[in-house]
Copies of this chain bind each other. A is one copy, B any other.
């Protein structure tokens, strides 16, 4: 296995986790904002059709991150809520960092959405350290 093969394999794994992270964070946001997370709202905010959201939520449930009952809202498990907190904090750090180095806020938000999922713990600490300096 070459070094580059390992890099690519790791990037593929991160990518597979990215969608789950986005859904979990969004569900957490909706619950905080409205007290519940409806499938229709999740779909709208994710920018996908409603059945697509339903299918992804099924995957969240399979992975133990969320629960739901038919025709009722979606809820996060403890694991899901912990992931949501972690993801939200990382997202904020990345956005603030980009803004700090001079990226317009609007662009920072766009870029962060893709970048954040590939920022390791080590790099995240460096970004946070930079923000404090």
Residue positions of A touching B, CB distance < 8 A? 1-11, 14-15, 22, 26, 44-48, 98, 101-104, 107-111, 113-115, 117-120, 122-123, 126-127, 129-130
Q: Is the CB of B98 within 8 A of A111?
A: no
Sort A-B residue pairs by CB-CB distance and give the 8 closest, nearest first.
A114-B118, A5-B47, A11-B114, A11-B113, A7-B113, A9-B47, A115-B118, A4-B45
CB of B117 within 8 A of CB of A104, answer no
Q: How far is the CA of A108 from the CA of B114 in the complex (A)?
A: 17
From known contacts A1-B47, A2-B44, A44-B2, infer whether A118 and B113 are also in contact, taking CB-CB under 8 Å.
yes
A1 / chain B contacts, CB cutoff of 8 Å: 47
Cβ-closest chain B residue relative to A5? B47
State whether A120 touches B101 (Cβ < 8 A): no
The answer to whether A4 touches B46 (Cβ under 8 A) is: yes
Q: Cα distance A103–B128 when bound, in Å?
A: 12
Residues in B with CB closer than 8 Å to A103 are 122-123, 126
Give Cα A10–Cα B9 distance, bound, in whole angstroms.
23
Q: Which residue of B has the minimal Cβ distance to A22? A: B8
